[in-house]
Structure 1
Amino acid sequence: MMMQDSPIYIPTDSSHDAMDSHLLQETSTTASEHPDQTHNESTAGDSEEEEEEEKKTKGKAQPMDCALAPSEKLEQAQKMAEKFMKEKEVHKANRELIRCVALTRIIYGDSHWQLAQAFSNLAHGYLSLRGLPAQAIEHAESAKRILLTGSHTAPGTPEDKREILGTLVTVYYTLGVAHLTQNNGKESHLSLQKAEKLMEELQELDGRVIMGLKVSEKDLVIALGSTCLQQNKLGFATGYFEKAVDAVISAEGDTAPELINLYQKVAQSEQLKKNHEKAIGYLLQAHSICVTLHKKLSVEAAQTGLLLGKAYAATGEQQHFEAAEMYFTESLIAYEAAVGAKDSLTLTAIEEFSKWLVQAEKKQQAYRLLKDSLKFIIDIYGDFSEKAAEIYHLMGSICLAGGKMREAYQLFSKCLQIQTAVYGPHNKKPKEMQELLNALERSPAVHEGNRLLK
């Protein structure tokens, strides 16, 4: 086990001195009964959203029975946290997890492994329920300090050892995923590797994983694959994702919804390795599951169809052009049927399809698609938007490639006008566009067109 370093006390400086008002109200009776053990812990920067929720629910929540002993209150809070998590009651679950920390500290003190466990559960909650990595990291670090340096962390029984190992798995998994969301690949990988080793040690104790473990082996493997993908460790990423695929198929069958994202992740790794055929194979499996579970004209099927179109197009081989066009077209039809022609998902699909049509020398088809979508782009994003500038740029490039110099000049001029408004006159994009326009102005076709327009 990883228990080392000198003892360290959990910080209680001014930034951590005040528990939120709801927590103080709920624990005040217990605290008065145990004045020597009460230490407040902040909620590590709760969001404005939770503050609003607190205002709405304050006075409505049923207080704990004051006659209950602290241990009974803790058990009650733990049960309520689990209940609210299952019911997706995010803020209520978070409040119960905070209560668990306060009550555990009252009962066990500042250096007991059960306080670390309460902190790890709170950290995991901030990440999985709220999507708040900074808060998750802060609480996970508190749990880690207690486990690695606390004076009351030595396991007394084999069951205690399992609990401590399980808590360490949760701590390092939470740190790993939180750093991953913050694009801190190195820290993420180190933490997840520690979680992986601890998971192995936990499983070797007596061949089973303790009940109630927050993190499954599959969760850990997927996280490791994701962090390897982020760091461009593609061989490792593929291996982890394939291991996760096997685990899901073994547990839920070969049409489990979770396989869709996993197949897409493996495909992404293979594409980055230029293994286009393998990538296409995985995406075909993802698309097949989407069509089976969600039907052909669904957002899910449209998304996998678009990825397939891009995958076939990425090969650059003539033999795959027909398949690329088929999946691009099917994706566009599915998006229009599922969310409508004006939706941003549909417009993004049109843009991707149009870019490929240009590469496939089908410029007129691409131009018509872009022109038809332009009015929707302006409706959604506005006349002066980055998206509108991109469409004008694409349309101008198509005209330029087709020798339509005057049309290209007009479209690029509109693009420059938008880019200047969006990025400012000194940005690289409008400067490059201005240089292109200066070059086009030397063309007789442009001058003739401009003279006729006057």
Structure 2
Amino acid sequence: MMQDSPIYIPTDSSHGAVDSHLSQEISTTVSEHLDESNNESTARDSEGEEKKMRKKALPMDCAPAPNEKLEQAQKMAEKFIKEKEVYKANRELIRCVALSRIIYGDGHWQLAQAFANLAHSYLILQGLPAQAIEHAESAKRTMLTGIHMPPATPEDKREILGTLVTIYFTLGVAHLAQNNGKESYLSLQKAERLMEELQELDGRVIMGLKISEKDLVIALGRTCLQQNKLDFATSYFEKAVDAVISTEGDTSPELINLYQKIAQSEQLKKNHERAIAYLLQAHSICMALHKKLSVEAAQTGLLLGKAYAATGDQQHIEAAEMYFTESLIAYQAALGAKDSLTLTAIEEFSKWLVYVGKKQVSSCP
């Protein structure tokens, strides 16, 4: 069975320490705790950040007003995100939360938006689903308890819907990374409905939204695959394929993984021929984009070898052997004979050869 590509979760202890500090900073509101903490040192750190933000917010001398500082922090966050300065971006997003609380108060949708942006950053930039869930839940609570009347303007409504899409998408993908399929599916379904509402409002042209329709359908496909909702998974991945082809062409590298996902779903349904057809498409794109003796070509070749082998048909023995052999040669050339991926390919090939040999012996008169 093909392997999923889970969100990478860093395990470096220094990263954990930095993230812990950032999480502590954000856990205290400007006026009161949003979530109670029993850690006194955390409380002191948060209070220090509070006082710092309040002092900066005071209209002393010619100091910028809080709304000007918020705009500056938002621009800096965007800048650092583009430059892949992950921790600097997160610090600016934390400032956005603190300043939004000063300007709008605890129950305003723009505070929820700041929390949602921070949660999305933890998930996408750092691959930290636990922190993403924590801040996305804070955003959801703020949004659900803070809106007591219709949005003042159509632009506000668009922003609110966009924020809700970000919240539920982040929750869905974060739960998916933690193998919590049910919660993931429920959240992503909500994000899908909200996206549809937003598209109706904007005539299918959504400006400034963090989550694309392609991102959403890929996430839905992955969570359906995880829960064995195979027909739904195939449908969502095919929608993603159409979206990629329409914007990037039919040789986009992103199609490789999508075709592999569809093939995985088809294999689980025992539709081996369809699975092979999709894997051939993935392998063809890979061979066009990478060298024949590359890791990428080795990976797609190995999947094809396994797919042909899985049929159990005599007519596919030659094809299976060819792709197993090509994959093994590519792994050895790219990584060396002792690399773990090379050894795994050898093991897969060896198991199949033993199986075929036993089958041929048993079939002899």
TM-score normalised by L of structure 1: 0.68
CA drift at 1:18: 5.4
Find the counterpart in structure 2 of residue 107 from structure 1: 103
CA distance in 2, matches of 1:260, 1:241: 12
* Corresponding position: 1:258 with 2:254: yes
Per-residue CA shift, 1:53-92, capped at 9, x if unaligned?
Answer: xxxxxxxxxxxx9822211111111111111111111111
Select 2:263's aligned residue among 267, 278, 289.
267
Residue type of the alignment partner of 2:37: S
Q: Which has the higher contact order (CA 8 A, sep 6+)?
A: 2
Q: SS of 1:14's equivalent?
A: coil
User: What percent of counterpart residues are identical?
Assistant: 80
* Aligned twin of 2:306: 310
**Structure 1 residue aligned with 2:279:** 283
Of 180, 183, 197, 1:201 maps to 197
1:92 and 2:88 matched = yes
Residue 137 of structure 2 aligns with which residue? 141
Indicate if the aligned counterparts of 1:81 and 1:96 stay in contact, CA closer than 8 A. yes
Which AA in structure 2 matches 1:324? A
Give CA-to-partner distance per residue, 1:269-328, whole Å, 9 cap, x none.
000000000000111111111111112111111100000000000000111010001001
Alpha carbons of 1:22 and 1:344: their partners in 2 closer, same or farther (altered >3 Å)? Answer: farther
- The one-letter amino acid paired with 1:127 is L
What residue in structure 2 maps to residue 245 of structure 1? 241
Cα 1:152–1:71 shift into 2, 3 Å = farther
Structure 1 counterpart SS, 2:337: coil
Equivalent AA in structure 2 for residue 29 of structure 1:
K
Alignment partner, residue 212 of structure 1: 208
Query: Equivalent residue for 1:166?
Result: 162
Normalization by structure 2: what TM-score? Answer: 0.84
1:14 partner amino acid? S
Q: Which whole-Å CA distance do the structure 2 matches of 1:190 and 1:32 have between them? A: 43
Deviation at 1:12, TM superposition (A): 3.9
Q: What is the rounded CA distance, in whole Å, between the counterparts of 1:312 and 1:175 in structure 2?
A: 37
Q: Could you tell me whether the CA contact under 8 Å between 1:263 and 1:282 is conserved in 2?
A: yes
Aligned to 1:13: 36
Structure 1 position 154, deviation (Å): 3.9
Contact 2:57–2:66 (Cα < 8 Å) also in 1: no
Q: How many residues align?
A: 326
Q: Based on CA coordinates, which of the two structures has the bigger radius of gyration?
A: 1
Distance in 1 separating the partners of 2:209 and 2:45: 27
Counterpart CA distance in 2 for 1:224 and 1:321 is 35
With over 3 angstroms needed to count, the CA separation of the structure-2 counterparts of 1:255 and 1:248, relative to structure 1, is same
Q: Is the 8 A contact 2:263 2:274 kept in 1?
A: yes
Q: Measure, in 2, the Cα distance between the counterparts of 1:105 and 1:141.
A: 16
Consecutive unaligned residues of structure 1, counting only runs of 5 or more, are 1-8, 35-64, 364-400, 402-454
Shift of 1:359: 0.8
The aligned counterpart of 2:330 is: 334
Look up the SS of the partner of 1:297 in the other structure. coil
Task: Write the deviation string for residues 367-394 of structure 1: whole angstroms up to 9, x where unpaired.
Answer: xxxxxxxxxxxxxxxxxxxxxxxxxxxx
Preserved contact between residue 109 and residue 147 of structure 2 (Cα < 8 Å): no
SS at match of 1:360: helix
Which of the residues 99, 116, 120 maps onto 1:120?
116
Secondary structure of the 2:184 match is helix
Residues 1:184 and 2:199 aligned together = no
Alignment partner, residue 57 of structure 1: none
1:132 to 1:182, Cα distance in 2 relative to 1, 3 A: same
1:355 aligns to 2:351 (yes or no): yes
Q: What is the identity, as a one-letter code, of the residue corresponding to 2:90?
A: N
Structure 2: 5+ residue runs without aligned partners?
1-31
2:3 alignment partner in structure 1: none
1 CA distance for matches of 2:291 and 2:162?
40
3-state DSSP class of the match of 2:64? Answer: coil
Local SS of the residue matching 2:357: coil
| CA shift in 2, pair 1:235/1:76, >3 Å | same
